[in-house]
């Protein structure tokens, strides 16, 4: 099977509760792993960039093993019984560090492990057997979208090495608004018009590869500050986009929202992004 160029991905995990209440986004991610395998072959490893693993400089987690971290409170206690224990890949971690430093990014590496809930809730759907090595990469949450894109560009060579880059966050994320009427918002609430407008603006600008507008989304996108009072849940999108390449496709491959104002879109980036989209839609049955 052809693993010459894997697409990079951004998925919306929304909140830890996706692990117990998958909804449409969870169902989509359950189809995502088999689609990747069918179109490109099984990835050799996964590099994750999650909204919940951040540092003052980019940090590669180089432990030989990673376990699920329960980095949340106030949610269903059943979440703390769920596990995702995956192998690490210290050699790949060293390679990722070299790529970052070679691009002039002052990255560091630590021999520590762990998958925050943004990483393990997504991977638990995409590759539930936890048998693919994972290397988490912490990003800098106060760096600009353009800087996050550059971080992704530095690890772009991984796509040709059979390594899948997965960013995890939420395409919209305003918890104050989400829980304004209590801690259990209904999943079937109609989507707010401003939430949909932001998601659609983002998808259109991504398809056009209008990076200048996307980098300046806080001033360009409709309702941007309302959708992201802080933007740590959106920034992994830019890392995944950079890993796909400035001149390659940026395609929304899942379009959805839950609880009225939580965007759950997913994206594929890179020269083979369209192939993944076609496989997911059933238009491609055999690998290249």
| pLDDT tens for each residue of 124-167 | 999 999 999 999 999 999 999 999 999 999 999 999 999 999 99
The residue ranking higher by pLDDT, 122 or 189, is 122
Does position 183 have pLDDT exceeding 60, yes or no? no
pLDDT of residue 186: 73
The residue ranking higher by pLDDT, 25 or 283, is 25
180 pLDDT band, cuts 50/70/90, is low
Structure tokens at 116: 């925050």
Q: How far is it, in rounded angstroms, from Cα 186 to Cα 178? A: 10
Does position 243 have pLDDT exceeding 60, yes or no? yes
Residues with Cβ within 8 Å of 282's Cβ and at least 6 positions away in sequence, in order, are none
pLDDT of residue 259: 86
Does position 2 have pLDDT exceeding 90, yes or no? no
184 pLDDT band, cuts 50/70/90, is low
**How many other C-beta atoms can be found within 10 angstroms of the C-beta atom of residue 288?**
12
Is the distance from CB of 29 to CB of 276 less than 8 angstroms? no
Structure tokens at 10: 């951004």
Mean pLDDT for the chain overall: 93
pLDDT of residue 1: 39
Structure tokens at 2: 């052809």
Q: How far is it, in rounded angstroms, from Cα 197 to Cα 159? A: 32
Among the residue ranges 15-24, 184-193, 213-222, the one predicted with the least confidence is 184-193
pTM for this predicted structure: 0.95
pLDDT of residue 283: 67
Residues with Cβ within 8 Å of 142's Cβ and at least 6 positions away in sequence, in order, are none
pLDDT digits (tens, 9 = 90+) for 27-73: 999 999 999 999 999 999 999 999 999 999 999 999 999 999 998 88
pLDDT of residue 286: 43
218 pLDDT band, cuts 50/70/90, is very high
185 pLDDT band, cuts 50/70/90, is low
Q: What DSSP string describes 225-249?
A: HHH-SS-TTTHHHHHHHHHH-TTSE
Using CB atoms within 10 A of its CB, is residue 120 exposed (0-12), middle (13-18) or buried (19+)?
A: buried
CATH architecture of 8-281: 3-Layer(aba) Sandwich (3.40)
The residue ranking higher by pLDDT, 243 or 4, is 243
pLDDT of residue 182: 53
């Amino acid at each position: 099977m052809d693993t010459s160029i894997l697409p990079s991905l951004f998925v919306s995990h929304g909140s830890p509760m996706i692990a117990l209440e998958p909804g449409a986004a969870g169902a989509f991610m359950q189809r995502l792993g088999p689609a990747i395998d069918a179109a490109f072959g099984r990835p050799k490893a996964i590099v994750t960039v999650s909204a919940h693993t951040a540092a003052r400089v980019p940090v590669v987690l180089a432990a030989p093993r990673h376990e699920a971290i329960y980095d949340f409170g106030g949610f269903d206690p059943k979440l703390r019984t769920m596990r995702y224990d995956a192998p690490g890949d210290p050699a790949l971690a060293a390679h990722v560090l070299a790529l970052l430093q070679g691009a002039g990014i002052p990255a560091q590496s630590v021999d520590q492990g762990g998958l925050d809930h943004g990483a393990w809730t997504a991977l638990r759907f995409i590759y539930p057997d936890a048998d693919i090595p994972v290397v988490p990469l912490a990003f800098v949450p106060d760096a600009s979208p353009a800087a996050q894109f550059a971080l992704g560009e530095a690890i772009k060579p991984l796509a040709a090495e059979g390594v899948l880059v997965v960013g995890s966050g939420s395409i919209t994320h305003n918890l104050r608004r989400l829980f304004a009427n209590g801690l259990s918002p209904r999943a079937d609430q109609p989507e707010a018009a401003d939430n949909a407008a932001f998601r659609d603006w983002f998808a259109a600008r991504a398809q056009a590869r209008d990076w200048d507008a996307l980098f300046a989304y806080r001033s360009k996108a409709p309702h941007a500050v309302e959708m992201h009072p802080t933007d740590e849940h959106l920034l992994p999108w830019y890392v995944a986009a950079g890993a796909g390449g400035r001149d390659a496709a940026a395609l929304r491959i899942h379009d959805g929202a839950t609880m009225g104002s939580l965007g759950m879109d997913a994206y594929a980036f890179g020269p083979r992004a369209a192939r993944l989209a076609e496989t997911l839609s059933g238009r491609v049955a055999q690998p290249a």
